[in-house]
Amino acid sequence: MCTSAAEAVSPYFSGERYELGRPESAPTTMWFKSILLLLAAASLGLSAPNARYSSTTRAGWQPTSPRTDRRSLLSRDTCTLPEEIPTAAPKANPFVALSQQEIDDLANWLLAPAQGLNLTSTSSPNISLSDNYIWHIDVLKPNKSDVLSYLDGSGAVPRYARVTLIQGGLRVPIVAEYSVGPLPISNSTQIGSLDNIYNGPNGARLLWSAGPVDPVRSAAIDNLMNMTLSPIADMTNDLLDMAFYGSSDNRSTMTYFMQSPASTDGERTLFWSPFRRNVMEPWDSPSDLYIQFDITGTDASLWTSLKAVYNLQVYDSVQDFYNAWKDGNVTKSPPPATDISFLYKNQTGPVRDLEDRFAPTILALDGNRFKVDRQEQYVEYLGWTFYMRFDYDVGVQFYDIKFKGERVLYELSLQDAIAQYAGNNPFQAGTGYMDRFYGIGASSIKMIPGYDCPYHSVYLDGNYSTTTQQAYTQDSAICIFETDIGTPITRHNNPVWAQATKGSQLVVRMVATVGNYDYLWDYGFFVDGTITVDAHASGYIQGNYFRPDDEGQWGPRVAETLAGTLHTHVMNFKADFDLIDEKNTFVKTDIVVENITQPWFTELGAFEMMRYNISDVETEDDGLINLPPNGQTMFTVVNKDQLNEWGVPRGYRVLPGLSNVILASQNSPFFLKNAQFAKQPIAVSRQHDNEPSSTATLNQNVPQAPLTEFYKFFDGESLVQQDLVTWVNLGMHHYTRAEDIPNTLMSEAHSSIMFAPQNWGNTELTKDLSNAVMMYAEGPENQIVIDTNGVEPPACLPLGPEDSLVGVFSVEG
């Protein structure tokens, strides 16, 4: 496709093009301010082949060497690879993941008899459920108060670890989180409770049975499954065309899965398992069988299967079910299809006309316009600066976001991504995932260049510590690129001038493949001071076994033995605005409609008109906020002590976007106190170091007794000119469809929110941009001036006749 464009005469500003473009009878003449560029361009010839790469193998293109000198751009006829522009963060990033040395030192310290924790090493060959051992050693997020005094002043941020111990050896077995510090380990290092940051009934702990499925528990569950299923393999082979003999046994043709949540309060752990064909993506090869298991307590010999459901018949035990089958009393429903070609994404079908051509792409032809300090995970972009943090739980997070040197947000971070399911079977009806529990950051993937992210993106690593005590680096977990927003950011035409300013944004992107789903999150930083968060989803739906009698109540049939599955995604974000400083107010501007009279409309009498009704959200009692119909409320965070030139408090608007949904069912037993953050579109609370997050990683299995109970944040405190946190939800009701097969489409599975300046400036904030054109007439002859502020398309970009600015603006003579 990369044929030379040399013969297509297409200068942007050449005298030749001017001649071509000027109508014979034009009453105006043209004059260019950008003389230097015009001359350079004219002398070098603007047209050039857009051959960006020298090599040729389809799989591994070799980039040309980065250009070293801006001027060389004009003397080349190919655009060059944008070089990464380094910068130095003003301060070292205070949010660094633990190093392997730190993790090892912490593990040794915890295991030392002096600590009295009676821990068994996780590498012990005979480790058992009734031992105490380490699950996760991670860094404890430092307190905002400490980070701010460090960023704005001096000193150091205290460094602590957050340690999760599985304590099966206690009289009442628990899983608990502790703080260990200060780091590095010294004689003053102590282990302490984290009850200060967890407000649930059991503080920083939950009953053991509601804990994570670590390798020890997982092996015991696998054994229970084998003990339950291998004796009935003759029946499962007959009814389901599948059997199970343990995950490591190559005779196993089916998989089991644990319903989440597996408990309500940790007292008892009961879960339903679906059974799926052991093929690529078992999610979409479900059968009609479900079995309930009780895995309460640390003595796995007491674990047992309970009920079974097959073809909507409920059996009190697996044995009852087996006996019924032996007696020929079981009515068979079709086993999951064996042909899974529908789950593949290989290109099939005739190629669409012209679709063999390479798709359009985003390119920074004139070089990058952002700078990155990789080591400090710090970014600068056209007035924006921010730090990033990465962790196992949620992945990338943003801190100290400033625009033109002024702080806008202290923190912008994902809290959790949850999903509420439904269906006429115990598994889908009982599913409420909280993906933070499974590690959203730990599920981050290496981006596919050119597909997940535009070519020439800057890729950053995501560092976090695993639950196997490894300091792990996910390379290319984040990509950063600048893109056109798709429209000019401002424009106008009038008889006197025509103007347009380019709209650009920096995007920081992360993708996490959590089991069946792929979440893509974009954080956008716009040239006008706007910040956006966009969430998209793809991957495989957790499909339902197709039953005609479900009659489309939870989704349409989408394959031979597969139906869609109604579910709602909610993703909670923490937006800790600090507009200039921490003293902020959350303001609602309602549009109210009233019958009024006005003295000049005597003939109308009372008539209906609208006006603003502006009110502060005064206390946390009013902090849980719904979206009004017809968008008739504007939500802003303002700083009443910081006025713009017009005397108006400077602020940012919280602008709901696409699909800001919340849980459709608010009283489901599977999402109770543990998911209160997902029950209103917006919430505003006072910032406190002991309320760092709307949820906790271990909230998944304790809907009734979570570590973090969000509503307890709302205890009547004043919100006027205080340090506030705004909690917002993105999400989607997933109305599954045939088009979810094989993979959900990111076009429709999309949600967004925007934070936009609202009287932040004295005017809009793009008047300083040079990537703008102003066209007007000047002088008695009405000479047309085309002023592009000295910024031109680089010489390597071939332009066509219709790309010319000449003749676009004219005045009537």
Ligand X SMILES: *[C@@H]1O[C@H](CO)[C@@H](O)[C@H](O)[C@H]1NC(C)=O
Site for ligand X in 643-702 (CB under 6 A): 689-690
556 makes contact, choosing from ligand X, Cu ion, none, with CB < 5 to 8 Å by partner type, with none
Q: Are 82 and 367 in contact (CB under 8 A)?
A: yes
Query: Could you tell me whether strands 85-86 and 370-373 are parallel, antiparallel, or unpaired per DSSP bridges?
Result: parallel
Tokens of 90: 């003003």
Give CB contacts under 8 A, 24+ apart, made by 169-174.
169/118, 169/120, 169/130, 169/131, 169/132, 170/132, 172/207, 173/130, 173/207, 173/208, 173/209, 173/297, 173/298, 174/205, 174/206, 174/207, 174/208
Q: Which of residues 182-221 bind ligand X (CB under 6 A)?
A: 186-187, 196
Residue 742 binds ligand X (CB under 6 A): no
Picked from Cu ion, ligand X, none, the partner binding residue 217 (CB below 5 to 8 A depending on kind) is none
Instruction: Based on the shown chain and the rule CB under 6 A, indicate whether residue 226 belongs to the binding site for ligand X.
Output: yes
User: How large is the C-alpha radius of gyration of the chain?
Assistant: 31
Q: How far is the CB of 279 from ligand X (least distance, A)?
A: 12
Residue 253: how many other CB atoms lie within 10 Å? 18
- Judged by CB under 6 A, the residue of 324, 362, 363, 785 near ligand X is 324
Strands (E), 265-394: 270-277, 286-294, 304-310, 313-315, 370-373, 378-381, 384-391
Q: Does 52 bind Cu ion (CB under 5 A)?
A: no
Can you say whether the dihedral through the CA atoms of 250, 255, 258, 260 is positive or negative? positive
If binding is defined by CB under 6 A, does position 466 make contact with ligand X?
no
**Cα–Cα–Cα angle for 768, 770, 776, nearest 5°?**
100
CB of 402 to ligand X, least distance (A): 20
With CB under 6 A as the contact rule, the residue among 131, 138, 265, 518 that binds ligand X is: 131
Q: Which of 757, 557, 809 is nearest to 653 (CA)?
A: 757
Query: Who contacts 180 (Cβ-Cβ below 8 Å, separation ≥6)?
Result: 106, 109, 110, 160, 161, 162, 163, 189, 190, 191, 192
Asked if 536 touches Cu ion (CB under 5 A), the answer is: no
Binding mask 732-761 for Cu ion (x = CB under 5 A): --x---------------------------
Identify the H or E element spanning 748. Answer: none
Per-residue CA distances from 374 to 67, 88, 386 (Å) = 21, 9, 12
In the complex with ligand X, the residue whose CB is nearer, 32 or 322, is: 322
The burial of 495, by beta-carbon neighbours within 10 Å (0-12 exposed, 13-18 middle, 19 or more buried), is given as exposed
653: contact with Cu ion by CB under 5 A: no
Least distance from C-beta 522 to ligand X, angstroms? 21
For residues 132 and 333, which CB has a smaller minimum distance to ligand X in the complex? 132
Q: How far is the CB of 685 from ligand X (least distance, A)?
A: 15
Residue 267's binding partner out of ligand X, Cu ion, none, with CB under 5 to 8 Å set by partner kind: none
Listed ranges 2-10, 404-412, 705-713, 727-735: which one lies at the site for Cu ion (CB under 5 A): 727-735
Nearer to ligand X, 344 or 601 (CB): 344
b (16+ CB within 10 A) / e for 224-245: bbbebbbebbebbeebbbbbbb
Q: How buried is 409 (Cβ within 10 angstroms: 0-12 exposed, 13-18 middle, 19+ buried)?
A: buried
Which residue among 198, 256, 517, 523 is the active-site one? 517
- Asked if 435 is an active-site residue, the reply is yes
Residue 456 binds Cu ion, judged by CB under 5 A:
no
Does the annotation count 451 as an active-site position? no
Task: Compare residues 28 and 226 and give the one whose CB is closer to ligand X.
Answer: 226
The least CB distance from residue 608 to ligand X, in Å, is 5
Tell me which stretch binds ligand X (CB under 6 A): 10-18, 76-84, 129-137, 481-489: 129-137
Whether residue 607 contacts residue 589, with contact meaning beta carbons closer than 8 Å, is answered with: no
| Closest among 75, 81, 72 to 45, alpha carbons compared | 75
632 interface partner picked from ligand X, Cu ion, none, CB below 5 to 8 A per type: none
Beta carbon nearer to ligand X, 143 or 490: 143
For residue 55, state whether it binds ligand X (rule: CB under 6 A): no
Task: Report the C-alpha gap between 288 and 330 in whole angstroms.
Answer: 12
What are the CB-based long-range contacts (under 8 Å, 24+) for 86-89? Answer: 86/371, 86/372, 86/373, 86/374, 87/371, 87/372, 87/373, 87/378, 87/380, 88/373, 88/376, 89/373, 89/376, 89/378, 89/387
Which one of 56, 154, 248, 361 is in contact with ligand X (CB under 6 A)?
Answer: 248
**Does 130 participate in binding ligand X (rule CB under 6 A)?**
yes
In whole angstroms, give the CA distance from residue 376 to residue 94: 9
Site for ligand X in 602-641 (CB under 6 A): 608, 613, 615
State the minimum distance, in angstroms, from the CB of residue 411 to ligand X: 15
Token pair, residue 744, equals 């959900």
Catalytic choice (435, 452, 518, 723): 435
Q: Shortest Cβ distance from residue 246 to ligand X (Å)?
A: 2
CB 126 within 8 A of CB 205: no
Of 11, 82, 94, 169, which one interacts with ligand X (CB under 6 A)?
169
Nearer to ligand X, 549 or 608 (CB): 608
CB nearer to Cu ion: pick between 460 and 571: 571
Options 25, 55, 68, 250; binder of ligand X; rule CB under 6 A:
250
CA separation for the pair 760, 644 (Å, rounded)? 7
- CB 798 to ligand X: min, Å: 36
CB of 103 within 8 A of CB of 138? Answer: no
Q: Which stretch binds ligand X (CB under 6 A): 247-255, 394-402, 554-562, 780-788?
A: 247-255
Of 294 and 616, which CB lies nearer to ligand X in the complex structure? 616
**Where on the phi/psi map is residue 180: left (φ > 0), alpha (ψ -120 to 50), or beta?**
beta
The site partner of 473 among ligand X, Cu ion, none (C-beta below 5 to 8 Å per kind) is ligand X
Output the CA–CA distances (angstroms, integers) from residue 678 to 520, 571, 685, 715, in the order listed.
Answer: 19, 8, 15, 18
| Side chain identity at residue 78, one-letter code | T
Q: Extract the tokens encoding 680.
A: 């209103």
From ligand X, Cu ion, none, which one binds at residue 18 (CB under 5 to 8 Å depending on kind)?
none
Residue nearest Cu ion (C-beta atom): 734
Q: With CB cut-offs between 5 and 8 Å by kind, which of ligand X, Cu ion, none does residue 734 bind?
A: Cu ion
Q: Which is nearer to Cu ion, 144 or 734 (CB)?
A: 734
Q: How far is the CB of 468 from ligand X (least distance, A)?
A: 16
Q: Which is nearer to Cu ion, 205 or 734 (CB)?
A: 734
Within its chain, how far is the Cα of 686 from the centroid?
A: 24
Chain-centroid distance of CA 501 in Å reads: 29
Whether the Cβ atoms of residue 147 and residue 409 lie closer than 8 Å to each other: no
Q: Which of 177, 288, 400, 461 binds ligand X (CB under 6 A)?
A: 461
Q: Which of 375, 468, 493, 597 binds ligand X (CB under 6 A)?
A: 375
Q: Which residue is nearest to ligand X (CB)?
A: 246
- Look at residues 695, 87, 718, 771 and name the one whose alpha carbon lies nearest to residue 384: 87
Q: Which is nearer to ligand X, 234 or 781 (CB)?
A: 234
CB of 435 to ligand X, least distance (A): 23
Taking CB within 5 to 8 Å according to partner kind, which of ligand X, Cu ion, none is near residue 113?
none
User: What is the spatial distance between Cα 397 and Cα 637, in angstroms, rounded to a whole number?
Assistant: 21
Regarding 346 and contact with ligand X (CB under 6 A), the answer is yes
Cα separation, 134 vs 119, whole angstroms:
7
User: Rounded to 5 degrees, what are φ and ψ at 202?
Assistant: -110, 20
Choose the one of ligand X, Cu ion, none that binds residue 333, judging by a C-beta under 5 to 8 angstroms depending on kind. Answer: none
Please list every residue from 570 through 609 that binds ligand X, using CB under 6 A: 592-595, 608
- Residue ranges that bind ligand X, judged by CB under 6 A: 96-97, 118, 120, 125-126, 130-132, 143, 158, 160, 169, 186-187, 196, 226, 230, 245-246, 248-250, 323-324, 327, 329, 344, 346, 375, 377, 461, 463, 471, 473, 592-595, 608, 613, 615, 689-690
- Residue ranges that bind Cu ion, judged by CB under 5 A: 734
Catalytic residue numbers, as ranges: 435, 517
